[in-house]
Every structure is written in C-alpha cells, then in structure tokens.
Structure 1
Amino acid sequence: MSKQAVLLLAHGTPETVEQIPEYLRNVVSGRPLPEHVIEEIKHRYSLIGRSPLTEITLEQGRLVEADLVMEGIDAPVYVGMRNWKPYIPDVVRKMRADAVEQAAVICLAPQNSRTSVGLYKRAVQAEAGALKIDFTEGWAQDPLLAEAFAERLRAAEDRMKDETGAFVPVLFTAHSVPTRTVQPPDVSAGVNPGPRLWPGEGADPYAEEARRTAELVAERLPGIPKRWFAFQSQGASGGPWIGPSVEETLTAIAEEGVKTLLLQPIGFLCDHVEILYDVDIAFKEYASKLGVRLERPESLNASPTLARAVAGLAKCGLGRLQG
C-alpha cells in the first residue's frame, strides 16, 4: 500500500517585525511596495506583539493527525506556508524525502478563490514530482466548519445575553480580494458586472462561498435578531477590492440604531493580524466612534470541531487517492 500523508496549507506569517519587509515581498510576489505601506504593517504587528498563525496552524495539524489516528488512519500531517517558513516547496520536498507517495492536500482557507487558493495549489504541484496529490478545492459549506464557527458564536451570544438580556446582531466578515481577481477586467466605476468567468471553469466562487458559510453559521443560531456581511482587510495594492467594507457596513449599522454588535470573521481559522489588529483594534475603535460596542467570538484556533472537519476532508481525500 502506498505511504499516505496529509498536507495543510496556510498563509504564513513572520516571527518578528524585522522580517516584515521580506514577508511582504513574498505576499506580493516581489513587486515593490511603498515604504509607507511597509511601515504601516510593521506598526500593526508591533501593536499586537506578534502573529500566532504559524504555531496555531501547527497545533491544528497535530489535532487533525490525532483525529485520523482515532479513525485508524496512519497518515502523518505536514504543514506548509505560502509566504513564510515552513515554505510549501520545502515541506513538499520533505514529504518526498520521507517516502510519502500520496497526499491529501487541504488549504486552510475554506472559501475558494481561484487566484488565491490557486496559488497554494500551484506551489504544491510545482514540487510534487511523482507525489500523487488530492487537492480539496474548497470546503465553505462543510457542516462541521459551520458548526465550529457556530459553537464560538453561540458562546459569545450567551455571554452578551447575560449582559444585555437578549441576543445581539452579528456582522460576518471574510477577507476581501482585489476586484480584478474575481470580476472581469473591464469593471467600470459604480457598475458590478458580476463574477469573473474563467475558461472552462465558470465564475470564481469566492464571494458566494464566503456568504454561504455565514448563512450556514447563522442558521444554527436562529435567535440572532439581525445579521450583515462585509469584506474586511482590503489591501494597499492598486485598484479596487470587493466590498462592502466593514467600515461602511458599521456606519450603516450604527445609523440603524444598533448599540452592541458581534463581529465574526468566517474566512479565518485562527488568530493572526487580520483579527488581532484589524478587528480587535481598528474595527473596535471605528465602531466606538459611531457609538457601537463591538465584540467578537473566540477564533477557532484549536477547536476540536474544526479538527474533525479537516480530518474528515483528509479522510475523503486519502480515500480518493486509494481509489
């Protein structure tokens, strides 16, 4: 029987502020960035101390491996990062050196955008050689993923209900992406021409999948009085990014008279700068100036339910490889 393994892919993050310039060059594929952008990112990292993304992802990998062992599946779990160490190419080479012949590959970004998740896939394929891979393209509608987010949101709603006497509204968010990556290149100001059509593949699914994940989470908490959806963390690169943005959505929510709000990012599986700075610092400050108290549920991080979700995906992928 072929030796099998699981490979989890994540964005990656530097360990120190001094590593930010090199890290950002990886993120933008070597394109030059204005110095003020680099300094702003360094400032954000300095405010949160560091990003725990890598260590949390490694812990998630250990939990997934433990779940697979409980299922009687002998498949070690490797973790590779696209923009920082351990880099995906290095990890794939390590797998081949370990005599792994088949690998179930899962990107820890559940909502599939062909330009972002596609970069992860190409990075694996470039080093795979004879290593046979099964790549999970997207898992935005996985029931256990929705349940993992719902567990965190339910705990936060219970906490807020104890304080306010009722469930509070929720703003769901996912990371924005450049408009040009999901919509046709001839997008004109004020006109939404719809999703980009990819030859032989149809429309890019990212925006729809992000909203669908949020819907599945909300369905598990029918007591939520009202909910919204926005895209967060628009980048500093040129050109428009998909919206609505969190800031404009918060402004509209405040105009409706909402005074207490939960914000749950459903596109991120662990704490990192887009949560620890963007949500916990920037969005909270923005909401406060509008007279809105903004809180968020705990991130999934080491959620056992998330581990079961990923282990289930891995089990299916390994099964397809054997078939």
Structure 2
Amino acid sequence: MTTSAVLLLAHGTPNVLGEMAEYLSKVTGGRALPDEVVEELKHRYAQIGLGETPGAEAPPLTRWTMEQGRLLEDALGGTRVYVAMRNWHPYIADVVEQMRADGVTEVKAICLAPQNSRTSVGLYRRALMSAATGMDVEFVAGWAEHPLLAQAFAEKLWPVWAEACAQSGRRVPVLFTAHSVPCRTIMTGEASIAGARPGTPMQDTPDPYPVEAKRTAAMVAERLAVVGLKESDWYFAFQSQGVSGGPWIGPTVEETLKGLKAEGHVGVVMQPIGFLCDHVEILYDIDVAFKEMAQEMGLRLWRAESLNDSPVLTRALADIVRSEGATKIDQPVTARAM
C-alpha cells in the first residue's frame, strides 16, 4: 500500500549556545571556523534569547517552522506533514527514518527557502535523496514566483509601510532583502553544490537565486501598487553576508542604507522576502544591527512582520502540495491609496 506524506525542509538552529560550534560545523560542511567567529555568532544568538540552558520555548526558527508544519497538516486534512532540518535536530536523515517506520513510501518535499539556490536548496535535495533511497520523492526546488507567497508578504508589508509614511509625513522607501550567498556559488562554471565531492559535474549556467529573489520582491511590490507603492519606492539588497571567507553577493544592506540617506530619505521599511519566519538573520541582523546602523545615520528603520503563522503562507504551501504550485488568482491588498 502506498502512503504519501509531505516533508518540509528548513535550515535548523541550535537550541543552546554551547551547541554553536557543532552547529556551525554542519553549516560549513565540517570546515572549522575561527574562535572569534563562533563567539560573535554566540553573541548574536544570545541577543535573540538563546541561553546556556534550554529555554521554555524552542528557538524562533524551530518553533515557527514546526508551527508551519502543523498548520499545513491541518489545512490538508488527512495528509501527514513532517518537518526536518538540514543542520540541526531533527535532522533530515532521522526524520526520513521515522517516515519509513510510519509506512510512508511517497514524499513531497518542500524547501522552506522559496528561492532556488545551489548553495542552499541543492544541499537540501542532496541530503534528502541520500536518506530517502527506495522512496518515491517529489522535490519542490523553488517557488519564488508563487502568487500566494507574494500575497502573504504584501499583507505584512502594507500596514507597516502605511504607518511609516504617516509618521514621516512623506513617502518612505521599501528595502527588500534576501540572504546573501558566496559569489563563487552563483558564477557560471562553478560546482552545482558548494562543497560538492571531487568529480561533481560543473554547471554551465549561473545560479538562479539572485534573479528569483529579486522576482519575489518585484511581485510583492506589484501587489502594493493598488495602495500607492511605485516602482521608484522600492530597492533590493542582500543581507547577512558571511563573517569569514571570500566575497559574497551584493549590493549589501549597509551600502544601500548609506545610499538612501544620501538621497535625502528620513527612514526605510525593510522586508526580508527570502525568509519565511523569525530567526537570527531577522531578529538580530535587522532588528538590532541594521536598526542601530540606521539610527547612527539619522534614518528611522521599520520592519514588516515575518510570515510565521500567516494563513496565506499556509494556503501557498497547501497549493504547492495539491497542484505542484499551480498559479491561482490571488486577491489584491484592499486599503486606501496613498
């Protein structure tokens, strides 16, 4: 008998500060990082509530991803939804083993990084396919242009942009962001997966990630055109460049904020469209580091709420499960025009 299930794949995050070095070794594929890098990341995670002992709640990334899985399972009404992490517990291999024990033979896997990249989504696929031998796996590599994804982000952006403009008494620019990746991983001719084994076939096309990230941003902006957002009102930058190693893709948030200040803007609304829930790249990089930087420049910084338990995000995931991401007619944001 065939038993089908859905598997949501996410990055993973440590539960306590003492796990940081081991966690980072998973992220880098075993490459050791300097002690000062580990300590800096421990500092950042401590700023968002991670401690030396487990807290009453799981870290934000774990907590929200598990909730997204629960909400999707409720929406599907009968299809089991599992959640697995690439770099921490519950590991992909362990969850796949549990699925086998539960009698699952067909898996629809959705990576909770909507924009396809060899350096991230490619690694999820590789880990899953290595663990799921003998199972029928359908892997959704990217869904950056799903209309309900754009709708979910637009519904979070509209109220904070309207508030920012009202408080400033002028139009405030929107800065969309996605996580940066190393330059080498998106260049033509690089290996298909960062850290791939010797002999891995080389790619003759660029990585789609930068184009897909900017396309998601454009689709969100298009949905706010009805309430007055113009093409000239929004910008895009890559955030959270690595703290060690070679060059990472830009433009960076830091240089973009400087440019906005130079153009005479008094504030900016940020929305990270490459992340589906709160975690360190949002709660620290934006809410602490970028906000402090903006304040020092004389800019006010607002951030749109993360999707987290967004009902529209749940609808997007359910649509992907049921129809391989088939396009639906989504509803525009309903509000007064500015």
Normalized against structure 1, the TM-score is what?
Answer: 0.90
Cα displacement (A) at 1:115 = 2.4
Q: Map 1:51-200 to 2 at 5 A.
A: 51-69=59-77, 74-184=78-188
One-letter amino acid of the counterpart of residue 229, structure 2: I
Q: Distance in 1 between matches of 2:126 and 2:187?
A: 21
Please report how far the alpha carbon of residue 19 of structure 1 lies from its aligned counterpart in structure 2 after TM superposition.
1.1
Structure 1 residues 1-323: aligned runs within 5 Å: 2-50=2-50, 51-69=59-77, 74-184=78-188, 202-222=205-225, 223-225=228-230, 226-317=233-324
Amino acid at match of 1:208: V
In 1, Cα distance between equivalents of 2:22 and 2:173 = 40
Question: C-alpha deviations, 1:303-322, integer Å up to 9, x for none?
Answer: 00001101111112599xxx
Asked if structure 2 preserves the Cα contact closer than 8 Å seen for 1:173 and 1:231, the reply is: yes
Contact map agreement 2:151 2:220 (CA 8 A) in 1: yes
Aligned partners of 2:23, 2:8: CA distance in 1, in Å? 20
Q: Conserved in 1, the CA contact under 8 Å of 2:9 and 2:84?
A: yes
Shift of 1:274: 0.1
Question: Where does residue 332 of structure 2 map in the other structure?
Answer: none
Work out the percentage of aligned pairs sharing the same amino acid. 57
Separation of aligned partners in 2, 1:165 and 1:250: 20
In structure 1, the residue corresponding to 2:278 is in which secondary structure? coil
Query: Does the 8 Å CA contact 1:104/1:317 hold for their aligned counterparts?
Result: no
Tell me the equivalent position of 1:189.
Answer: none
Cα-to-partner distance string for 1:67-114 (whole Å, 9 max, x where unaligned): 111xxxx31000000011000110011111111010110000000002
Change (3 A) 1:165 1:201: same
Provide Cα deviations, 1:188-234, integer angstroms capped at 9, x if missing partner.
xxxxxxxxxx8577331000000000000000112225111000000
**For this pair of structures, how many residues does the alignment match?**
304
Q: Secondary structure at the match of 1:203?
A: coil
Unaligned runs of 5+ in 1: 187-197
Shift of 1:26: 0.7
Q: Which letter maps to 2:302?
A: E
Preserved CA contact (<8 Å) 2:268 2:300: yes
1:272 is displaced (CA, Å) by 0.2
SS of 1:168's equivalent in the other structure is coil
- CA change 1:48–1:200 in 2 (3 A) is closer
CA distance in 1, matches of 2:164, 2:49: 28
Separation in 1, partners of 2:265, 2:163: 18
Greater Cα offset, 205-214 or 112-121: 112-121
Indicate the SS of the match to 2:137: strand
2:331 counterpart residue number:
none
